[in-house]
């Protein structure tokens, strides 16, 4: 059921199991949506505390999909997968009837409408390959100038001792001055609250995928657009499980 | 000045000089924005009655840019260029401080979040080259399955005698069944009101760039994102004119 | 421990839970390796009976990775993921020290050394998108002429009533005659035994990814080549799980 | 009417309104054409004094197209657009019956026949984006090693105080030594007279688009080749103007 | 030595050994160059009578390079390789100091300045792969709509019984009407004399690489442009031969 | 005829005429094949002593093809072209019935299965262009991080005075640390014996194309896969030679 005045509900799902991250993700999402949009924030009940490898992604996805299926059953209208690797995106599009957007995807799309080029600043160097893969998959290889890693683990981003904010600003500056990026996409849901500060320091648009993603999903829901069920993204066939 | 409750104003500009088209474009935009967003609809004061060639685009752009400059001076927060060739987009980004989105661009971006592939159905065959050019420029060559033209001139789209709606439905069906497109982007601002009808008939998401574009601009304004002024899109230098 | 004369062990893993498929996969692999190579055939203990969607893949991967981790602990030297979507490939490369190859990847690589172009004939149409995605990811978009689906479910491929063999031959013929493909890659581990028959009928090389994959892994093991642990594919960091 | 011995007339059009630039452009063109080719040099009657932004281009194009239409009516056989952004090229191809070539296009084409790779050295950094866009549009992204800007405004190129020649030489040298470019394309019609000097200093072919463009157009006129009027580039439809 | 009034000499080399083909190639070249340009026509002294495979190309190249070396020693200023596979082009650029252009390359370059797209109509189907390879190598994959073969052997093109002209016209028409090509590049030096006739019949520009190539080389010679000797195309190092 | 126990024969052909290089190439090949595979090592009887230019390649190819034709007549089952430019590969595929693999191709294919990216370290800088060309032709432009040349001539690689090994290690290290390559492909058959040493020093997989190539050919022979004779790679037509 839905509170008075609420006309749509969008689930913002944290694929890792760290509640504190979910809280800041939800805050980033709630701060930008309509008064008529309810943000349902969800933490993955099963999986790793943070996602920093292909293995972490793979282990987080079944739990993530279970959360999406539950929210779908509960009538949620659209979904944001709030992890920069966009884990489980294709599978989520099969099981959700409403639109599903990943935060890397969301950040890249908006970046290409704010200039010719963008760069990415992410957490650990080992995740740069997945960012590069997504850039290519979504069609933005010609727009992405560079990808940097500040080498701060996801769960230490909000630890002042990690110096994360300063490192992110340094790499963003490098992307702009050295690689001539017109904007920067922040490569982790945990960087959402760095966004405005970094942008002010560096002087170019800095995009947080969480707030970008929730507005893209809200837009598609308002437009009545749902993932195509023509063939690939139709609901999966029932299977016998062992 | 701004009416009570209005927190942002977005200009939706019809690059051609046909008022009736502006009216339907404005309606499409107003039907989807927030209560807190005012849509300012603008008709180009100087140029051709419709845009169906590179020449028409070129002749429409100075007037279009004058409208944008005026709206910018009037404090408008963001801009939609409501013609499928995205005319003057780069120049508009230089003279507007808020975000600027073209409707082809808008349609393509949303389409790639609703499936793996899309097709385009546009007006005259001679405009297919520009659509193809934009698909490549924005990075979506790997996602676009086909481009079709119904060969109905822009100003006859709403003439029942043109049979436009039926033709568009036929080509959308062909795109889906023959080219395996997951969705269809309608290739003219004048097709905005075909959208839901065509989608129902064809059974895949059908995207109107006008409503998509205004929501993308609204999203960027809410996020405080403006076109990068780093270098290419900084305000143009003053020039001596003859 | 290893039998006398065996100098390397390669695990061929069936990501679905259907033992009969594992048996034919193992047979395809054993029929081509060295006398000094032992093929360890493994069936995923947890997951769907067949993989025909992104969702099926996602649900199969954790079990698949558990099998790989166990085989790795048991000293297996290399791994073949015997499902045409190459599920879990990146994650498997992080947790296995020896080389890991997917059968789609294997088929594409050999195909490009047998001619300028290839086509793919797979099972259900809904899996064509993943095949297209892999073709692009691996760099073979310029070499792939077409992708066809015979619309026979994976588990019915060996059911004579499914007419699968005839349908595959028809589509291979179409790929060669209509799309000018120099060879065909069969798009399912369950098609392994069609290979020589189809090739004879159609008159071009027809590649089964299972036998191709096991020989590629065997080759890398002989060469002492293991997945790079430089950064992205280094062993995943330990994580707290919920 | 045409002077005795003249068998073809080619218009070299300066899209900006600075007569002195037209003069040096015309000189570059006249120095290379046949005795049987007359170069008609034209200065845009309406627009900015120099073109250094997308806005400048947009404002220059209608005047440029008017000049082309007038020259076409006067029986000119082919056209060179002598500004490195190739402004109005598509529209010009619609309204001219003879071939039309832009100087960026001309320079890139010849460069790829003189080696594997080239770089571009242009004027202001803000124009690098357009150069990159044209490189991609024409198909030369795989051939272009780098794009540099000497940050000298177009109208100061011939001012000794600007040190332009030395800066261009420095960047060309950097392109060759650091980026391994086989040749350099000069990124402004106003650099035409630097060409041989820079080439001698740097030791690789240095290409001026103006002289390259007039010879490409002359070649197409000699071959009887005119822009295709099949569909996209057919004469624009008559329109009602406001 | 050079005849009075001759200011440059360009060698047009037929890589096969059929004199009659050389004659028509030379005629095509002579009909378009300046009065001040001498066309030196050369027939390969060693190799196959026609080139219709990679093997034929490979066997023709040493003789072709010997002809180029001899012409170079004789002071020839530039070179056209008059076979559509552009055989030996890279090697020729190393041993010639003047520019070298292949006729496929020449045709593609001009085609992209006459419209958005082109198709190729060549001789035997087995040569289509090389044409496709060259299209990709030169950067024109996004511009080439289709490649057709009329299945007439090179040496039968001028045999009325071969019906070659009619077949070429039919395929050109198909390229224009079915594939929406703006122009057609003829895929064999032996088709030079079909050019104007086919163009008249089909109604789009039809490009003969021989006449296109000789004018491109003449243009580069006039501009003083020679192949870059920076590194890859520097004269080959002396080698001990067996 | 074939020795007892030998079930297949693979020719590893050195396209240059230096016997000592053939010996080390053969050793690299023999060290990795099955007991049931006989490696037939062949030195090109006609051509340059080393291949370091397009010209050298062109002059080596006819002799190389003669060796392949002779080995084919002698019933050899597959072929490795042991020179990093993959000279004559297409022609060889036409005249050999068994599979043919070049060592650049072989190295690139395996590299992409060992990580996301690779770099190449080759001999003379002038050969970098051909390496880049092959990377693009085979589809690996998105996977290749960089190409370096140690500027040691092929025939000095095994001369301790050349310091080749140290230089190769330095460039491999640079590729890994500066360009983030996951692996390195050695760019010359003469570097085969550096492989393990360099890998140990640099800490990433280092791939020798000779041993990679012979195992790829052996794999294809075991699978009964031969080059497609559909059209392009069918045996060349008989020709009259002069």
The answer to whether E96 and E68 have CB atoms below 8 angstroms apart is yes
**Closest CB from E35, E227, E231 relative to D114:** E227
* C237 close contact with A: CB closer than 8 A: yes
C98 and C216 inside one domain: yes
Confirm whether A56 is domain-assigned. Answer: yes
Chain E nearest CA to D138, separation (Å): 8
Angstrom distance (rounded) from CA B185 to CA B118 = 7
Confirm whether F113 is domain-assigned. Answer: yes
Beta strands in C2-85 (DSSP E): 8-14, 37-43, 78-81
DSSP-derived 3-state class of residue A27: helix
Tell me, what's the pLDDT at B5? 85
- Chain B contact probe: residue of A219, A226, A234 with most B CBs at under 10 A: A219
**Closest CB from E55, E125, E232 relative to F231:** E125
Q: Is the pLDDT of residue A5 over 60?
A: yes
C40 and C16 inside one domain: yes
Tell me, what's the pLDDT at D181? 98
Chain E nearest CA to C88, separation (Å): 33
CA atoms lying within 13 Å on the CB side of residue B51: 32
User: Which residues in C lie closer than 8 A to residue E132 (C-beta atoms)?
Assistant: 116
Interface of D with B in 12-41 (CB under 8 A): 17
R_g of chain A computed on alpha carbons: 17
Tell me, what's the pLDDT at F4? 74
Question: Tell me: the pLDDT tens digits for B185-215?
Answer: 999 999 989 999 999 999 999 999 999 999 9
Q: Do F239 and E48 touch (CB under 8 A)?
A: yes
* E94 close contact with F: CB closer than 8 A: yes
Tell me, what's the pLDDT at F3? 72
* D142 close contact with F: CB closer than 8 A: yes
* E74 close contact with B: CB closer than 8 A: no
Angstrom distance (rounded) from CA A195 to CA F215 = 51
- Chain B contact probe: residue of E112, E115, E177, E180 with most B CBs at under 10 A: E180
User: Which residues in E lie closer than 8 A to residue D110 (C-beta atoms)?
Assistant: 216, 219-220, 223, 225
Question: Tell me: the pLDDT tens digits for C116-170?
Answer: 999 999 999 999 999 999 999 999 999 999 999 999 999 999 899 999 999 999 9
Chain A nearest CA to F115, separation (Å): 10
B93 and B116 inside one domain: no
The DSSP secondary structure of E113-180, one letter per residue, reads TSSS-EEEEES-GGGHHHHHHHHHHHT-TTTEEEEEE----GGGTT-GGGTHHHHHHHHHHHHHHTT-
* C136 close contact with F: CB closer than 8 A: no
DSSP-derived 3-state class of residue C144: strand
Angstrom distance (rounded) from CA B30 to CA B36 = 11
The DSSP secondary structure of C197-223, one letter per residue, reads HHHHHHSS-EE-HHHHHHHHHHHHHHT
Angstrom distance (rounded) from CA C132 to CA C118 = 12
Q: Is B179 left (phi over 0), alpha (psi -120 to 50) or beta?
A: alpha
Q: How many domains does chain A have?
A: 2
Chain A nearest CA to D241, separation (Å): 31
Angstrom distance (rounded) from CA A14 to CA C164 = 42
Ranges of chain E whose pLDDT falls below 70: 1-2
Instruction: Report residue B82 CA to chain centroid gap.
Output: 4
Q: Is the pLDDT of residue F1 over 90?
A: no
CATH of the domain at A96: 3.40.50.12500
pLDDT level of residue C2 (50, 70, 90 thresholds): low
B87 and B147 inside one domain: no
Nearest CA in chain D to F129: D116
**Residue A63 phi, psi (nearest 5):** -65, -40
Instruction: Provide CB contacts within 8 A for B67, sequence distance 6+.
Output: B11, B13, B42, B44, B45
Instruction: Provide CB contacts within 8 A for B1, sequence distance 6+.
Output: none
DSSP-derived 3-state class of residue B149: strand
* F54 close contact with D: CB closer than 8 A: no
Confirm whether A73 is domain-assigned. Answer: yes
Tell me, what's the pLDDT at E195? 93
Interface of C with B in 112-131 (CB under 8 A): 128-129
Tell me, what's the pLDDT at C173? 98
Q: In what order do the strands lie in the sheet with E37-43?
A: E37-43, E8-14, E78-81, E100-102
User: Which residues in E lie closer than 8 A to residue F54 (C-beta atoms)?
Assistant: 90-91, 93-94, 232, 236
Tell me, what's the pLDDT at E157? 95
Confirm whether A227 is domain-assigned. Answer: no
Give the bridge partners for D196, in sequence order. none
Q: Do D129 and A116 touch (CB under 8 A)?
A: yes
Q: What's chain A's average pLDDT?
A: 97
Q: Is the pLDDT of residue A51 over 70?
A: yes
Angstrom distance (rounded) from CA F69 to CA F73 = 6
* E73 close contact with F: CB closer than 8 A: no
Instruction: Provide CB contacts within 8 A for E152, sequence distance 6+.
Output: E123, E124, E162, E163, E164, E167
Q: Is the pLDDT of residue A1 over 50?
A: no
* E151 close contact with C: CB closer than 8 A: no
Nearest CA in chain A to F181: A129
Q: Do D109 and E114 touch (CB under 8 A)?
A: no
D201 and D110 inside one domain: yes
Q: Is the pLDDT of residue F5 over 90?
A: no
Nearest CA in chain F to D116: F129
Chain B nearest CA to D5, separation (Å): 34
Q: Is the pLDDT of residue D1 over 50?
A: no
Confirm whether E230 is domain-assigned. Answer: no
CA dihedral F124, F125, F131, F133 (to 10 degrees): -140
Angstrom distance (rounded) from CA C99 to CA C93 = 7
Instruction: Provide CB contacts within 8 A for C159, sequence distance 6+.
Output: none
Q: How far is CA B194 from CA B166, B198, B214, C213, in A?
A: 10, 6, 17, 50
D116 and D93 inside one domain: no
Neighbouring chains of C at 3+ CB pairs under 8 Å are A, B, E, F
**Closest CB from C115, C215, C224 relative to F196:** C224
- Bridging pattern class, strands A78-81 and A37-43: unpaired
Q: Do A115 and B228 touch (CB under 8 A)?
A: yes
C89 and C182 inside one domain: no
Q: Do E232 and D112 touch (CB under 8 A)?
A: no
Q: Can you give the residue range of the structural domain that contains B33?
A: 8-102+212-222
E97 and E128 inside one domain: no
Confirm whether C72 is domain-assigned. Answer: yes
Angstrom distance (rounded) from CA D57 to CA A92 = 45
* C231 close contact with A: CB closer than 8 A: yes
- Chain B contact probe: residue of C129, C130, C138, C151 with most B CBs at under 10 A: C129
Tell me, what's the pLDDT at E4? 73
Question: Tell me: the pLDDT tens digits for D23-60?
Answer: 999 999 999 999 999 999 999 999 999 999 999 999 99
Percent of the residues in chain F that have a pLDDT greater than 90, as a whole number: 95
Q: What's chain C's average pLDDT?
A: 97
Give the number of A-F residue pairs with CB atoms closer than 8 Å: 7
Q: Is the pLDDT of residue D2 over 70?
A: no
Angstrom distance (rounded) from CA B137 to CA E218 = 34
A145 and A190 inside one domain: yes
* B132 close contact with E: CB closer than 8 A: yes
Q: Do D129 and A142 touch (CB under 8 A)?
A: no
Neighbouring chains of E at 3+ CB pairs under 8 Å are B, C, D, F
Q: Is the pLDDT of residue F54 over 50?
A: yes
Q: Is the pLDDT of residue C230 over 60?
A: yes
Nearest CA in chain F to A129: F116
Q: Do F116 and A129 touch (CB under 8 A)?
A: yes
Question: Tell me: the pLDDT tens digits for D76-91?
Answer: 999 999 999 999 999 9
Going by C-alpha positions, the residue among C13, C9, C11, C33 that lies closest to residue C22 is C13
F122 and F56 inside one domain: no
Chain E nearest CA to C30, separation (Å): 36
Confirm whether E121 is domain-assigned. Answer: yes
Chain A nearest CA to D126, separation (Å): 11
DSSP state of F154: G
Going by C-alpha positions, the residue among F168, F179, F169 that lies closest to residue F118 is F179
Question: Tell me: the pLDDT tens digits for A66-110?
Answer: 999 999 999 999 999 999 999 999 999 999 999 999 999 999 999
Q: Do A50 and C239 touch (CB under 8 A)?
A: yes
Q: Do F133 and D142 touch (CB under 8 A)?
A: no
F191, with CB counted inside 10 A (0-12, 13-18, 19+), is buried
E37 and E96 inside one domain: yes
* E180 close contact with B: CB closer than 8 A: yes
Angstrom distance (rounded) from CA A33 to CA B223 = 10
User: Which residues in C lie closer than 8 A to residue F116 (C-beta atoms)?
Assistant: 232-233
C88 and C125 inside one domain: no
Question: Tell me: the pLDDT tens digits for D221-242?
Answer: 999 999 999 999 999 999 999 8
The answer to whether E60 and F62 have CB atoms below 8 angstroms apart is no
Longest CA pairwise span in chain C (Å):
55
Chain C nearest CA to E181, separation (Å): 19
Q: Do D207 and E225 touch (CB under 8 A)?
A: yes
Confirm whether F229 is domain-assigned. Answer: no
Nearest CA in chain C to A56: C236
E37, with CB counted inside 10 A (0-12, 13-18, 19+), is buried
C49, with CB counted inside 10 A (0-12, 13-18, 19+), is middle
| Of A13 and D242, the one with more pLDDT | A13
Mean pLDDT over B72-101 rounds to 98
């Amino acid at each position: 059921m839905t509170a008075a005045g609420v006309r749509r509900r969008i689930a913002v799902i944290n694929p890792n199991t760290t509640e504190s991250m979910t809280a800041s993700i939800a805050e980033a999402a709630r701060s930008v949506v309509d008064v008529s949009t309810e943000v349902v924030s969800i933490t993955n009940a099963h999986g790793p505390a943070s996602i920093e490898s292909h293995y972490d992604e793979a282990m987080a996805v079944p739990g993530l999909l279970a959360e999406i299926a539950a929210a779908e059953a509960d009538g949620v209208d659209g979904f944001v997968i709030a992890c920069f690797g966009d884990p489980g995106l294709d599978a989520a599009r099969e099981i959700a009837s409403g639109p599903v957007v990943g935060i890397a995807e969301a950040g890249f799309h908006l970046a290409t409408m704010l200039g010719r080029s963008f760069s990415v600043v992410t957490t650990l160097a080992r995740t740069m390959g997945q960012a590069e893969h997504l850039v290519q998959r979504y069609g933005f290889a010609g727009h992405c100038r560079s990808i940097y890693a500040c080498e701060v683990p996801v769960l230490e981003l909000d630890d002042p001792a990690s110096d994360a904010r300063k490192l992110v600003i340094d790499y963003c500056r490098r992307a702009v001055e050295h690689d001539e990026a017109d904007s920067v996409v922040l490569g982790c849901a945990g960087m959402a609250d760095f966004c405005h500060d970094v942008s002010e320091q560096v002087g170019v648009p800095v995009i947080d995928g969480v707030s970008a993603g929730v507005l893209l999903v809200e837009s598609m829901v308002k437009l009545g657009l749902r993932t195509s069920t023509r063939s690939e993204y139709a609901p999966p066939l029932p299977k016998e499980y062992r």
